[in-house]
Amino acid sequence: MLKREKPKERFGYDPQKVLRKLEELGKEILEEVRQGKNPYLDIPTRGLNNVYFDEVKRVIRMGDKLSRRYFLNVAHARKFMQTLLIAAYVKRLVSEGKHASLREAYYANKHTIPGTKENTFEDQSESDPVIEDLERMLGVLREEMHLTADRRGYVYGDITIRDGEDEFNTSKLGMGGWAVPGTVEHIQFVDINVDYALVVETAAMADRLIEEKFPKKERALIIATQGQASRGVRRLIHRLHYEEGLPIIVFTDGDPYGWYIYSTIKQGSINLAYLSEKLATPEAKFVGMTMDDIKKYGLENVTEKLKGIPPNKKGGPTGDYKRIIEEMNYPWFQTKEWQRQLKLALEWGVRIEQQALANKSLEFVAKKYLPEKIANEELLP
């Protein structure tokens, strides 16, 4: 049976740390300039050629390539200015205990540079990357800088959370559960009365499980990601696992998108490789949907065709096929079980949704499918 394990990390949110790092950054630059040196910012390079898969920790990690952004270089100066603008903004946010969305951060820092027709930021697509740069440079999460990601996802189950002055049990907030905020850094877990967390891709499936009283009966915490897991949700999963010892089980559609969701929860993403250590949960396991489920539960007539051209056809592979082939190459999917699932998907050319299980009966997923698979530990790594 799945049970809570010993915690491996401690609650570690410390706004002073962020402030100190920002101040240090400012002081270093000032010192350079004071000495008549060309000041620069060292920013770990983003993109595929600077990420690698850490076989030991089993997460996607950022390499050590750096871009050096010099003030005295005309091509860098604007970014240099933007980075410092955001850094100063973050300092104010954190020291005032306020939070802002990425959009707000954009608007707060956008203005016309005196004496020119140029704006400090022309578009949010300019400010977002600068925020990511700061995260990479300082090694702190955007959330720790009080910049909130989009909020998506909710939680339902017998756990008690403290959010500032509020304390509540997420199974007592109605069927909708507790909406995960953009930032979960400051959230504290007061009481945990569940044995594991079940991460569910679709809201429809999460709602079904809640209605069937699955969380109570199975002592499970439902975490609905509503598609790709937001940073807040991923961070929450990470913290629940490492700080509270909760095993993590992921339940998605049986298709390349669902598996990708699993893969980012587990290993981190290429975009956010620098944050893998804080966002990824390599110990997460996968319950379904798998290709094997189709055979085992007789769901053949509720599958759907994969989109795109298969690899053996002219012009292929495209669409879903292409995604699956890419995923087959992921280092963390280099296990017998996963290779088998992915190969079957390619062979059969089908996908299977979570909600296809309703074909059996509404309760089937809550009463039979999940409890059985989890109890028998029929889980993919």
Partner 1 sequence: MAKAKELFKEFKIQSVSEFFRRNAAMLGYTGKIRSLTTVVHEAVTNSLDACEEAGILPYVRVEIEELGREHYKIIVEDNGPGIPEKFITHVFGKMLAGTKAHRNIQSRGQQGIGISGAVMFAQITSGKATRVITSTGGDEIIEAWVKIDVEKNEGKIVKKLKHPNPTGWRGTRIELEVKNVKYVRSKQGVFWYLKLTAIANPHAHIELIEPDGKLIVFPRSSEEIPKPPVEMKPHPKGVMTDDVYRMAKKTRKNTVKRFLISEFSRISGKKIDELIKYIAAIRLINSEEDKRIKDELSERLAKGEVDLILRSYGRRAKKIIKEVQKLMEKPPEKLSWHEAEEIVEAFKYMKFLAPPTHGLRPIGEENIVKGLTGILKPEFVTAVTRPPKVYRGGIPFQVEVGLAYGGELESSFNLLRYANRVPLLFDAGACVTTMAARSVDWKRYKVEDLDRAPLTLLINVISVHVPYTSTGKQSIANEDEIYDEIRLAIMEAARRLQTYLSGKHRRLYQVRRKKTLQKYVPEIARALSILTGEPEEKIKEYFISLIEKKFETVEEALEQPVEAEADVEA
List 13, 52, 106, 107, catalytic entry: 107
- What does the alpha-carbon distance between residue 311 and residue 183 come to, in Å, rounded to a whole number? 41
Question: 84: which residues sit within 8 A by CB, 6+ positions away?
Answer: 26, 29
* 130 binds partner 1 per the rule CB under 8 A: no
* 117 binds partner 1 per the rule CB under 8 A: no
As given in the structure block, the two tokens for residue 160 are 């008690």
Considering only 2, 51, 59, 87, the residue that binds partner 1 (CB under 8 A) is: 87
* 119 binds partner 1 per the rule CB under 8 A: no
Considering only 11, 66, 195, 322, the residue that binds partner 1 (CB under 8 A) is: 66
- β-partners of residue 305 are 350
**Nearer residue to partner 1 within complex by CB, 119 or 335:** 119
**Nearer residue to partner 1 within complex by CB, 126 or 243:** 126
Considering only 38, 334, 335, 361, the residue that binds partner 1 (CB under 8 A) is: 38
- What does the alpha-carbon distance between residue 260 and residue 286 come to, in Å, rounded to a whole number? 12
Return the residues of window 205-224 that contact partner 1 according to CB under 8 A: none
Give the position of tokens 């587990």. 266
**Nearer residue to partner 1 within complex by CB, 9 or 42:** 42
The 248-251 sheet, strands edge to edge? 178-179, 154-156, 220-224, 196-200, 248-251, 285-288
Residue 246: Cβ within 10 Å count = 27
Residue 112 to residues 53, 87, 101, 108, 289, Cα–Cα distance (Å): 42, 18, 21, 12, 52
* 305 binds partner 1 per the rule CB under 8 A: no
Question: Least distance in Å: CB of 113 to partner 1?
Answer: 6
* 77 binds partner 1 per the rule CB under 8 A: yes
Asked whether 95 and 19 are in contact (CB, 8 A), the reply is yes
> Given the rule CB under 8 A, which of 63-71, 159-167, 221-229, 324-332 is the region that contacts partner 1?
63-71
* 175 binds partner 1 per the rule CB under 8 A: no
Considering only 88, 190, 362, 375, the residue that binds partner 1 (CB under 8 A) is: 88
The single-letter DSSP state of residue 264 is H
* 164 binds partner 1 per the rule CB under 8 A: no
- Residue 375 CA, chain-centre distance (Å), reads 27
* 91 binds partner 1 per the rule CB under 8 A: yes
Considering only 3, 8, 20, 68, the residue that binds partner 1 (CB under 8 A) is: 68
Residue 296 to residues 196, 300, 369, 378, Cα–Cα distance (Å): 25, 10, 11, 12
Instruction: Count interface residues toward partner 1 (CB under 8 A).
Output: 44
> Given the rule CB under 8 A, which of 36-44, 151-159, 312-320, 328-336 is the region that contacts partner 1?
36-44
321 is a catalytic site residue: no
Question: Least distance in Å: CB of 19 to partner 1?
Answer: 10
Considering only 53, 70, 348, 364, the residue that binds partner 1 (CB under 8 A) is: 70
CA dihedral 241→242→245→250, nearest 10 degrees, is 20
* 42 binds partner 1 per the rule CB under 8 A: yes
Residue 137 to residues 47, 66, 75, 347, Cα–Cα distance (Å): 15, 9, 19, 44
Considering only 11, 52, 67, 328, the residue that binds partner 1 (CB under 8 A) is: 67
At 150, the amino acid letter reads D
**Nearer residue to partner 1 within complex by CB, 138 or 198:** 138
- β-partners of residue 60 are 53
Considering only 26, 129, 319, 371, the residue that binds partner 1 (CB under 8 A) is: 26
As given in the structure block, the two tokens for residue 68 are 């050096």
Asked whether 285 and 248 are in contact (CB, 8 A), the reply is yes
* 48 binds partner 1 per the rule CB under 8 A: no
**Nearer residue to partner 1 within complex by CB, 92 or 305:** 92
**Residues tagged active-site:** 107
Q: Report the interface residues with partner 1, using CB under 8 A.
A: 22-23, 25-27, 29-30, 33-34, 36, 38, 42, 44-45, 64-81, 84-85, 87-88, 91-92, 113-116, 118, 120
